């Protein structure tokens, strides 16, 4: 068996430093849904029901982020059973659906959690996400985001929304806070704590 001693993934040191945040570091990360956790397309069935496609890479990344001590928050401008189901399946504890003003819902949520903007990252792809991204200590955007969002992002992912962009952001945040390698090595162990044969 080939042992993994050093993670294959890497980011530039200056980006990792920025992604650490100030003071006590980042404690939460806000993610948009349409265009970030999905590719932004909405399929509408004959009966008016909407369908969305989600990436398992992103889902696992959000779980890892939570395990690493950075709480994922979902704030989306739309509401749909598909999104609610995905959030529930991932076991995410904090989500706001149908938010017309994302800043207005984010601030009381962060206050309830005892957090301020210096402890928060945000990932979005379009104008409604700009107020969150401008206030967050670290802002991420998927590759296909609107130019105004790309202009203020600290990091633009190689992957587009719905195809691993959120996972890339999660990996970056975990690497910046020094938890990525431990989580990776934990996945190499079997349930009884030994390495797989």
Q: Where are the beta strands (DSSP E) in the chain?
A: 28-31, 43-44, 50-51, 71-75, 94-96, 120-123, 138-141, 155-156
Return per-residue pLDDT of the chain as tens, 197 residues: 556 678 999 999 999 999 999 877 999 999 999 999 999 998 888 888 888 999 999 999 999 999 999 999 999 999 999 999 999 999 999 999 999 999 999 999 999 999 999 999 999 999 999 999 999 999 999 999 999 999 999 999 999 999 999 999 999 999 999 999 999 988 877 554 444 43
- Residue 2 token pair: 């080939």
- Using alpha carbons, select from 166, 164, 118 the residue that is nearest to residue 141: 166
pTM of the model: 0.93
Please provide residue 83's backbone torsions phi and psi, each rounded to the nearest 5 degrees.
-70, -45
* Angle subtended at Cα 172 by Cα 145 and Cα 160, rounded to the nearest 5 degrees: 25
């Amino acid at each position: 068996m080939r042992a993994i001693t050093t993670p294959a993934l890497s980011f530039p040191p200056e980006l990792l430093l920025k992604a650490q945040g100030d003071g006590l570091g980042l404690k939460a990360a806000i993610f948009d849904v349409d265009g970030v956790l999905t590719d932004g397309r909405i399929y509408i069935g004959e009966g008016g029901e909407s369908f969305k496609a989600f990436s398992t890479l992103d889902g696992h990344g959000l779980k890892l982020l939570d395990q690493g001590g950075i709480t994922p928050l979902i704030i989306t401008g739309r509401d749909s059973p598909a999104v609610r189901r995905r959030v529930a399946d991932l076991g995410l504890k904090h989500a706001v659906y149908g938010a017309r003003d994302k800043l207005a819902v984010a601030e009381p949520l962060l206050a309830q959690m005892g957090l301020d903007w210096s402890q928060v990252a945000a990932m979005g792809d379009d104008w409604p996400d700009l107020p969150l991204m401008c206030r967050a200590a670290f802002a991420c955007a998927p590759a296909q985001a609107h130019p105004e969002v790309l202009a203020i992002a600290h990091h633009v992912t190689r992957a587009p929304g719905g195809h691993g962009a959120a996972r890339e952001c999660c990996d970056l945040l975990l690497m910046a806070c020094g938890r990525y390698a431990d989580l990776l090595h934990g996945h190499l162990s079997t349930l009884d704590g030994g390495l797989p044969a």
